[in-house]
Chain A
């Protein structure tokens, strides 16, 4: 097996891919969006519960996808509880930077630990065709927050 494959398919990712966390449809979710990757047919729905002050109280997802998109969605749902929308967007920006450029970009100090937890996904940078797999859940999350029903990677 090549080193870049070993880096892409780390144990943590395989574990999240096989046993995704927060893989459910919360009854009290008040936002949701559907994400779709037309290239491979992968799709997921992200459910969000946002309180009146704009803080994310719960994030969950359902759908079917490859190990990378499932693991990315699973890890995302673990990190976003208690975050403001601005923080979600800043973390997504930093994560996208990590997946495409390879460094942390301008990650705010208070999100540095969260970005560290996403670092296991940085191996996708060696696989340009797979970056969309990693970012689809985040695109879907931001679509849910902005009230967009559907998001596609194209």
Chain B
């Protein structure tokens, strides 16, 4: 069966959104037609990086074949054309997040987005003894930049625990907010547990005490519509390649009046108003934070990915993925000895599990031979692995093109692990 009936039952953005036809959608992704180890590919590693629709591939090729030159520099035709398209990409990202274009900074990836906040906001406003609040389920990208500041400036990192289901302990979060707190830096959706954190409430509680909030949206924007103005969040970051876009391009949203107070991130061309050895003046945001030639083709490719996703409808995608998650949860729980980590009521289509009989790495190798691509290991979230008491997990992360049949293939592949390792 297709998911169209189930998806249509859910509320969708726009009255004219066509039914969600997953088999048609799959044809938009050339790589999904290939096989791996002689079996049709079942790609369930979307949380690490998603595959690319033809729209993105064609757009990037077309830019390079027809509209390419450096941006913001030349008076010639192609430079102007490339500049228009690059600037339009920023507009597209801004619309996607409900922001203004001048609040969108292009980065390399989410890791750089967070490092940018640490290097500018952190350097400007943090003093020894100040605190940053993170959670137990952060990706290393939202831990290590703060540890670098800990070493450099003597700030402290406070950690909000998660409960056994994978919910952020909001009571502890609230109790950690103090006059020493300079920033709350939390994930909007765990890359391991799938837990979606109550972003609006997180922001409201912090703002009530005058504290700024950064949300790591790398997983969240993929699985649901995000409106930064509705959340009233101060900084929001995500990466292109998990959103069906290219690698090498990420985004940092920052409220304009906040960005305007920040010093430059890196120095170089494109971020300066004028340079002399007597003194250099810097451009306004967002250019102030984009030194050097940017990832022009990738930014335009990201805009193509966003157009693709918004045309399908983020609510329709979310409904489709929710059906998949429910079905996958049910199928996997039928397997004796399998434990699922993360049972938060608000959960994106990410399923981490372990088997009693086999280590995650062995699971990954065996299911790969069945054509099933899973992520195995610590998922760049070692503190969370510690909390869960496991060395690692296997993780199936679903995307907009996955199907129930693929969930069945996953379940069968896990049974072949048990065939080797025993019950």
> A66 interface residue, CB < 8 Å from B?
yes
C-alpha gap A146/B139 in the complex (Å): 35
Are the CB atoms of A130 and B361 closer together than 8 Å?
Answer: yes
Assembly CA distance A5 to B358 (angstroms): 14
Which secondary structure characterizes the binding site on chain A?
Answer: mixed
Name the interface size band of chain B: 20 to 34
Decide: A5 near B369, CB < 8 A? Known: A39-B377, A41-B378, A64-B391: yes
Complex Cα distance, B369 from A8, in Å, reads 12
User: Could you tell me the distance in whole angstroms from the C-beta of A142 to the nearest C-beta in chain B?
Assistant: 23
CA distance A9 to B369 in the complex (A): 13
Contact assessment for A5 and B391 in the assembled complex, using a CB-CB cutoff below 8 Å? no
Q: In whole angstroms, what is the CA distance A50 to B419 when docked?
A: 41
CA of A4 to CA of B37, assembled, Å: 11
Q: How many A-B residue pairs have CB under 8 A?
A: 56
Partner of A41, one of B358, B377, B421: B377
Check: B183 CB closer than 8 A to any chain A CB: no
Bound: A12/B377 CA distance, A: 24
Q: Which residue of B lies closest to A2 (CB)?
A: B369
Question: How far, in angstroms, from A8 to B377 measured CA to CA in the complex?
Answer: 19
Contact of A14 among B377, B392, B420 (CB under 8 A): B420
Contacting pair B421 A40 (CB below 8 A):
no
Q: Which of B359, B378, B382, B420 contacts A66 (CB 8 A)?
A: B359
Total interface residues on A, using CB and 8 Å?
Answer: 21
| Least distance between A42 CB and chain B CB atoms (Å) | 6
Residue A102 CB within 8 A of the other chain: no
B416 within 8 A of A: yes
Contact code string B386-423 (vs A, CB < 8 Å = 1, else 0):
00000110000000000000000000000010011110
Q: Which of B174-212 contact A (CB under 8 A)?
A: none
Are B416 and A1 in contact, CB atoms less than 8 angstroms apart?
A: yes
Which residue of the partner chain B has the closest CB to A64?
B391
What's the nearest-Cβ distance from chain A to residue B5, in Å? 36
State the CA gap A68–B363 with chains docked (Å). 12
Residue from the list A5, A9, A41 in contact with B392, Cβ < 8 A: A41
Known: A2-B369, A67-B358. A40 touches B420 (CB 8 A): no
Give the CA-CA distance A1 to B362 in the complex, in Å: 14
> Which residues of A are at the interface with B, using a C-beta cutoff of 8 A?
1-2, 4-5, 8-9, 14, 39-43, 64-68, 127, 129-130, 133
Besides the known contacts A42-B391, A42-B392, 10 further A-B residue pairs in the complex with CB atoms under 8 A apart:
A1-B419, A1-B420, A5-B420, A9-B366, A40-B376, A40-B377, A40-B391, A41-B378, A43-B391, A68-B362
Closest 9 CB pairs of A and B: A66-B361, A66-B359, A41-B378, A40-B377, A2-B369, A41-B392, A9-B420, A40-B361, A64-B391
- Name B residues whose Cβ lies closer than 8 Å to a Cβ of A: 37, 358-362, 365-366, 369, 376-378, 382, 385, 391-392, 416, 419-422
Q: List 13 A-B contacts (CB under 8 A).
A: A1-B419, A2-B37, A5-B369, A9-B362, A9-B366, A14-B421, A41-B377, A41-B378, A42-B361, A42-B391, A66-B359, A68-B361, A68-B362
